[in-house]
Structure 1
Amino acid sequence: MPDALRTEERIGTRRTLTEEVMEKVQQMVRRGELRADELYSVYQLAEALGISRSPVRDGLLKLEAAGLVAFERNRGFRVTVPSARQIVEIFAIRIALEPPAAARVAARRDPEVTARLRETMTAMEKAAAASDEPAFWAHDQAFHDTILTAAGNSQAAAVVRDLRERTRLIGPGTTKAARSLPAVAAEHRPVLDAIAAGDGKTAHDDMRAHLEATGRLLSAQTEGVPPADAAIEALWTEIIG
């Protein structure tokens, strides 16, 4: 485990230690401090985070249940990330669920839902401006979750939450070669505007555009190629069309 892991950051008190460990591991993977398929020990991670091994193990067990880490008996754990194909398959499911949900929410024109989305959008933009990644992705998830739930399908919301966990460890598509947090936030604004205007078709299309942009970046990022790479384009055509 690199020396960069010996950070001065310490676990906060706003969330449980287990939740903080999960977030810290995800951040460390995105920064390249934990690398896929290398073997690490729970003791090393606990020492790097400055907390006891019990909550570290609990956090890793939750990440294992989501398919994001793998334990090796009496040896430690490895970070696992989905392949480019798996990422495209994940986004194929999200595209099947989320754009129609946005269209349904727009058609209903519920002022309370619109107000919640506006509040979340504002919080997301503030977090982006402050480069507060944990807060930003929490608001991002809340935005998508609100739309899915308001569309009347709580099971779809749960499915999408699980799918998002499968892609979080490889990064959110905000590398230097991809998008900044403000750029990602900006992709949500047209969806909100269309919902507020009761424009179902535009809400559908803008949500799909946002998901495709994210999915293409993440699948390309996994392969270390540009989003316009022919192999990535072939995967999207094969799986999504």
Structure 2
Amino acid sequence: MTSPASSPLPQRGATLTEQVMDFVRAAVISGELETGKLYSVYQIADRLGISRSPVRDGLLRLEEAGLVEFARNRGFRIIPTSPYDVAEIFSLRLALEVPAASRAATSCTPELTEALVELEKKMRAAAAADAEDEFFAFDQELHDLILGAARSNRGRDIVNRLRVATRLLGVSTAGKQRTLTDIVEEHSPIIEAVKAGQSAKAATAMRDHLTRTGRLLVAQAIAAQGLDVDPDQLWTDLTQDY
């Protein structure tokens, strides 16, 4: 593992457990932590300069999400996330977030409208500054806000875990198939439909956004792992009901 100076703890204000999870995600993406290789709780604690307790808590949460596995008395390893996992993740997100967008539109309040407008402004500012980490934090906050407005509290927790799983894969469509501004433009129809109380349009816009993102990530994961798999067929097989 690299020196402590190379990867400081992210997201000031997050709990230590959340910071551990963020560190593992960032370290997998950067290559500091390799999939399949054994690491110890002591290594992570020493690396971050914190006690072992929040490290264990963070790793247990990642284990629950299927992202790490523990080897008895040997440590833990990062589980490689396959293109099939990505497609399944998005099939679950489609099942939860499409109806949530519809319900949020049906019961949109002035407070929700104000929060949506503010988040869109923040996303546009982060996109203009090419601040990818900040941008995706606002992106997650937006999806979380819509799920909350739909009173889908369990759904919020599930989707947040699924988003962590996707980021741990180490792939992103930003800067490759589309810019951060392109991603904002995909969110705008969702926001406008929810604000206008147009439930059917909100559901359609959310489905379009998640489908585009999921398809791109599946294709990118297949290419990265050198698999001889048709991305369109894989996507259809696992998301055909949505």
TM-score, scaled relative to structure 1 = 0.83
Q: 1:167 matched to which residue of 2?
A: 166
Alignment partners' CA distance in 1, 2:25 and 2:188: 26
Conserved 8 A contact 2:69-2:79 = yes
CA contact (8 A) 2:25 2:168 kept: yes
Contact 2:147–2:156, Cα closer than 8 Å, also in 1: yes
Q: Distance in 1 between matches of 2:47 and 2:173?
A: 25
Task: State the identity as a percent.
Answer: 47
Segments of 5+ residues of structure 1 without an aligned counterpart are none
How far, CA to CA, are the matches of 1:151 and 1:76 in structure 2? 40
| CA apart distance, 1:22 | 1.0
1:18 offset after TM fit, Å? Answer: 2.0
1:79 equivalent to 2:78? Answer: yes
* SS of 2:5 mapped into structure 1: coil
For structure 2, which runs of at least 5 residues remain unmatched after alignment?
A: none
> Contact conserved, 1:36 with 1:81, CA < 8 A, in 2?
yes
Aligned to 1:213: 212
**Where does 1:49-64 land on structure 2 (aligned, <5 Å)?**
49-64=48-63
Q: What one-letter code is carried by the residue in structure 2 that aligns with 1:185?
A: V
How far off is 1:147 after superposition?
1.4
Aligned ranges for residues 39-188 of structure 1 at < 5 Å? 39-171=38-170, 173-174=172-173, 176-188=175-187
CA contact (8 A) 1:173 1:179 kept: no
Answering whether residue 6 of structure 2 is matched by residue 16 of structure 1, we say no
User: Which range moved further: 181-190 or 28-37?
Assistant: 181-190
Amino acid at match of 1:184: I
Query: Structure 1: how far apart are the matches of 2:220 and 2:19?
Result: 25
Measure how far apart 1:134 and its partner are: 4.3
Q: Which amino acid aligns with 1:79?
A: I
Which stretch of structure 1 is more off in the superposition, 199-208 or 129-138? 129-138
In structure 1, C-alpha distance between the alignment counterparts of 2:194 and 2:136, rounded to whole Å: 21
Q: Secondary structure, in 3 states, of the residue corresponding to 1:36?
A: coil
Separation in structure 2 between the aligned mates of residue 99 and residue 92 of structure 1, nearest angstrom: 11
2:222 paired with 1:237: no
Deviation, 1:27, is 0.9
Q: Secondary structure at the match of 1:11?
A: coil
SS at structure 2 position matched to 1:15: coil
CA separation of 1:28/1:174 partners in 2, compared to 1, >3 Å: closer, same or farther?
farther
Task: Return the letter of the residue paired with 2:61.
Answer: K
Kept in 2, the 8 Å contact 1:68–1:169? The answer is yes
Equivalent residue number for residue 193 of structure 2: 194
Equivalent residues of 1:173, 1:214 under 8 A apart? no
| C-alpha distance in 2 between matches for 1:10 and 1:230 | 38
Q: Hey, what's the Cα distance between the residues in 2 that align with 1:130 and 1:81? A: 32
CA contact (8 A) 1:7 1:49 kept: no
Query: Which amino acid is the alignment partner of residue 166 of structure 1?
Result: A
Where 2:13 maps in the other structure, the secondary structure is: coil
Partner of 2:5: 7
What letter matches 1:206 in structure 2?
A
Secondary structure of 2:8's match? coil
SS in 2 for 1:78: strand
- The one-character-per-residue Cα deviations of 1:176-232 (angstroms, maximum 9, x if unpaired) are 434443333332122112222333333222211110122112222332259xx9611
Q: What TM-score comes out, normalization by structure 2 length?
A: 0.83
Three-state SS of the structure 2 residue aligned to 1:177 is coil
1:6 deviates by 4.5
TM-superposed deviation, 1:24: 1.2
CA RMSD in angstroms comes to 2.7
